[in-house]
């Protein structure tokens, strides 16, 4: 009887330790684009991130934000885009591309890029109590304004129109 009890305790301990070591199916990492992304002034930029290992994110909360988690520039939750909770200056300038959301990949598209769009963007996924994020750096290039300046220098009559 004593031997059976010891074996049972050992088996229970091994199963308990295996449960702690084995990653849960709800855990994941978020991977974004490394290195700064160049965004043309006045143009568009696409910021992508994805879950690893790949898994559906349709039921998850997906939040893109700059400095403050509570001020999202895009919020997707419970299968819906929540425009009413996003920062007003991004409401009509952003779109979440969800073509590959079934594999855990989303892309934030920002239109009419301005100088204020320069900086860090957090891509945040939440599934129940578990969450992860990745940060992507955006550098706004002055191509739109530079081409106008070059036109004025090379052809001063452009400035008069």
51 forms beta bridges with 30
Residues 131-147 have pLDDT tens digits of 999 999 999 998 654 43
Is 149 a residue whose pLDDT tops 60? Answer: no
Q: Residue 1 has what pLDDT?
A: 54
Question: What is d(CA 19, CA 114) in angstroms, rounded to the nearest whole number?
Answer: 49
Question: What is d(CA 103, CA 119) in angstroms, rounded to the nearest whole number?
Answer: 27
Report yes or no on 21 lying in a domain.
Answer: no
Residues 84-123 have pLDDT tens digits of 999 999 999 999 999 999 999 999 999 999 999 999 999 9
Parallel/antiparallel/unpaired status of strands 130-141 and 72-77? unpaired
CA 108 to chain centre: 7
Report yes or no on 23 lying in a domain.
Answer: no
Please report the sign of the dihedral spanned by the C-alpha atoms of residue 126, residue 26, residue 134, residue 104.
Answer: negative
Report yes or no on 155 lying in a domain.
Answer: no
- Reported confidence tier of residue 150, pLDDT bands at 50, 70, 90: very low
48 forms beta bridges with 107
Is 17 a residue whose pLDDT tops 60? Answer: no
Structure token pair of residue 105 = 């990949």
Report yes or no on 19 lying in a domain.
Answer: no
Report yes or no on 121 lying in a domain.
Answer: yes
- Domain holding 88, by residue range, is 29-143
Greater confidence (69 vs 9) lies with 69
Residues 57-81 have pLDDT tens digits of 999 999 999 999 999 999 999 999 9
Question: What is d(CA 24, CA 37) in angstroms, rounded to the nearest whole number?
Answer: 33
**DSSP structure string for 57-116:** -TTSEEEEESS-TTSEEEEEETTEE-GGGS-GGGTTTEEEE-TTGGGTEEEEEE-S--GG
Please tell me the total number of residues recorded for the chain in this structure: 161
Which burial class, exposed, middle or buried, applies to 116 when counting CB atoms under 10 A from its CB (0-12, 13-18, 19+)?
exposed
In the chain, the percentage of residues whose pLDDT exceeds 90 is 68
- Reported confidence tier of residue 10, pLDDT bands at 50, 70, 90: low
- How many domains, in total, are found in the chain? 1
Q: Residue 142 has what pLDDT?
A: 86
75 within 8 A of 63, measured Cβ to Cβ: yes
- CATH code of the domain containing 64: 2.60.40.10
Report yes or no on 9 lying in a domain.
Answer: no
Q: Residue 35 has what pLDDT?
A: 87
Report yes or no on 16 lying in a domain.
Answer: no
Report yes or no on 84 lying in a domain.
Answer: yes
């Amino acid at each position: 009887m004593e031997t059976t009890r010891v074996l049972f305790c050992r088996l229970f301990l091994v199963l308990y330790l295996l449960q702690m070591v084995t990653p849960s199916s709800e855990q994941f990492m978020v991977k974004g684009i490394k290195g700064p992304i160049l965004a043309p002034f006045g143009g568009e930029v696409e910021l992508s991130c994805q879950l690893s290992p790949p898994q559906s994110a349709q039921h998850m909360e997906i939040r893109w934000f700059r400095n403050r988690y509570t001020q999202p520039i895009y919020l997707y939750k419970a299968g819906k885009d929540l425009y009413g909770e996003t920062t007003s200056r991004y409401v009509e300038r952003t779109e979440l591309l969800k073509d590959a959301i079934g594999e855990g990949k989303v892309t934030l598209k920002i239109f009419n890029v301005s100088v204020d769009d320069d900086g860090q963007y957090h891509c945040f996924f939440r599934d129940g109590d578990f969450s992860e994020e990745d940060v992507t750096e955006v550098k706004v290039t002055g191509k739109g304004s530079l081409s106008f300046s070059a036109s004025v220098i090379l052809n001063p009559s452009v400035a008069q129109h």
